[in-house]
Amino acid sequence: MQTTLTANEPYSTKPLTKSERVVEDDSAPMGKGCNNTIDRVLASTKGFPAPISFDQQIDLSCAGVLLAIPALLSNRLLSYTKMFTNGENKYYSEQSIFLVLALLYLLRIKNINQSLMISSGELGKALGLDRIPEVKTLRKRISTFSEGAALDQWSESLAKDWMYNDPEVGSYYIDGHVILYHGHKTEMPKRYVTRYKLCLSGSTDYWVNNKIGEPFFVVNETINTGMIDVINQRILPQLEKDTPNQPTEEQLKADPKLHKMMIICDRECYSIEFFAGLWEKRVAICTYRKNVKTKWPEEEFVDYELVDEYGNMENVKMSEQVVTLNKKNDQNENISIQCREVRKRNKSGHQTAIITTNWKLSVVEIGQFMFSRWCQENYFKYMAENFGLNAIASYAKVEIPDTKTIVNPAYRDLTSRKKAVSSKLTRAENKLGRYSLKIGEANEEDKNYKKYLKHQSEALQDIELYKKRRRS
């Protein structure tokens, strides 16, 4: 989509100053700043949108924001605006509305009501219009854009373009961000909000970003069934459809270690069943390992130079092992998957454990991808502070399908308690085996013999107790 920029001919013999523009805008015949009478009449009667036209101005406020337009256009801001054309008579074209909204956000206007703080005539003239739309008009146009399938098609088209031009295409960072709801028009489900450490009403946006935090697309979930379900049901199908340069079926068959793409996320996605399901589709996972109880020997760690995406270099100690993760599912079937466990050891001796099914990247590259996850967190923080990421964009209410399936909270609580008891039982059985070996190796005259017997007896009692709890 191309926007034609023209200039009024002839230019005013005397460019207007800011004071003169204020007087002219206040005396406009069709309302404040509505100086383009002819084009407004044509728009209402013939449906012709206003042309972009510039005059000479002096001390024009907000004009510096025009320097951002090349960056906006290179990110395809106006490439798919035709999707929102509905044939109605409008003074402001779809391109004009998109530019106005983009420049308002660059001016740190976090919601549409705050646009009243900026002179509508000044920003309008910077865009080649007589004034920008009023708040009511902007809200109406946004509501119109949000109706039907055009919005989803627009988002999907932009995501495809951004993926195609991304140098690290095929590696996706996924994380959730809660949008709070403080109103009273509807009852919103509650969920835990990490930044406040409270359960509050709202919905969850799941963002898909690249290695430096730039977003590809976002999906919203009002009823949150968990990140794993959202990835399986909504995110992964779109990634499989839109990711460019995926290996062919012949290449995947020829190389059993080859993957189509890689997902990087935090511990919320740690699930052996999830890992196995992803690898069946040849999708690799990279996340932090949960419940790390043991430390690897210091001599196993090797010095590496870790270079981040900004060129900063850091000397780190890292090590790698191949591990097999096992678990029984709800049908009591054993699930097993082979993974790479990569650990980073810091100066204090703490070891950060990473688990991945990506067999192609080096140890250092695995560390780079995992530790770059903080770029996504920084994106959330920056966008919330500067662009109102936490604000609700619309007051429109959308019906939730009645067939939405969620986990019963009572079942979740029972499952959690059962897992906790099973974990304690496993530790008690390990303790019993450990002290039984020590008793077999020691003799009765050993000073620690009685202590070993005591620990063995405690382990037997714990095993009996935890088995009863698990059955109940």
Q: Pick the residue with more confidence: 20 or 446?
A: 20
Report the half-sphere exposure of 107 (CA within 13 A, side-chain side).
23
The C-alpha atoms of residue 78 and residue 1 are separated, in whole angstroms, by: 6
**Res. 404: pLDDT tops 70:** no
CB–CB of 325/336 below 8 Å? yes
**Tokens, residue 259:** 């993957």
Q: Pick the residue with more confidence: 224 or 218?
A: 218
**Res. 115: pLDDT tops 70:** yes
Q: Which residue is associated with the tokens 């009511």?
A: 136
Strand partners, 176: 206
**Tokens, residue 455:** 């620990």
**Res. 18: pLDDT tops 60:** yes
Q: Which residues contact 311 (CB under 8 A, 6 or more apart)?
A: none
Most confident option among 85-99, 123-137, 275-289, 320-334 = 275-289
CB–CB of 180/201 below 8 Å? yes
Q: Which residues contact 301 (CB under 8 A, 6 or more apart)?
A: 317, 318, 319, 343, 345
User: How would DSSP label each residue in 140-200?
Assistant: HHHHHHHSTTHHHHHHHHHHHHHHHT-TTTTEEEEEEEEEE---SSS-PPEEEETTTTEEE
Give the pLDDT of residue 393.
Answer: 63
The dihedral of CA 353, 358, 362, 365: what is its sign? Answer: negative
Most confident option among 55-64, 95-104, 175-184 = 95-104
What values do phi and psi take at 401, rounded to 5? -55, 135
Residues in the chain: 472
Name the pLDDT band for 8 (thresholds 50, 70, 90).
very low
Most confident option among 1-5, 220-224, 356-360 = 356-360
The mean pLDDT of 199-220, rounded to a whole number, is: 90
Strand partners, 438: none
Q: Which residue is associated with the tokens 């391109």?
A: 95
Q: Which residue is associated with the tokens 């406020």?
A: 61
The helix or strand, by DSSP H or E, that contains position 323, with its residue range, turns out to be strand 313-328
Render the burial of 427-464: b for 16+ CB within 10 Å, e for the rest.
ebeebbeebeebbeeeeeeeeeeeebeebbeebbebbe
3-state SS, residue 6: strand
Give the pLDDT of residue 189.
Answer: 77
The C-alpha atoms of residue 343 and residue 317 are separated, in whole angstroms, by: 8
The mean pLDDT of 436-464, rounded to a whole number, is: 82
Percentages of the chain per state (helix, strand, coil), in multiples of 5: 45, 20, 40
Domain boundaries, the chain: 5-147, 150-249+386-406, 266-372, 409-471
Name the pLDDT band for 9 (thresholds 50, 70, 90).
very low
Give the pLDDT of residue 218.
Answer: 93
End-to-end CA distance of the chain: 66
The C-alpha atoms of residue 226 and residue 189 are separated, in whole angstroms, by: 13
The C-alpha atoms of residue 286 and residue 275 are separated, in whole angstroms, by: 9
Name the pLDDT band for 10 (thresholds 50, 70, 90).
very low
Give the pLDDT of residue 398.
Answer: 65
The C-alpha atoms of residue 17 and residue 406 are separated, in whole angstroms, by: 61
The mean pLDDT of 98-111, rounded to a whole number, is: 91
The percentage of the chain sitting over the pLDDT mark of 70, rounded to a whole number, equals: 93
Instruction: Write down the mean pLDDT value for the chain.
Output: 86
Name the pLDDT band for 11 (thresholds 50, 70, 90).
very low
Give the pLDDT of residue 5.
Answer: 43
Give the pLDDT of residue 12.
Answer: 47
Per DSSP, 267 falls in state: G
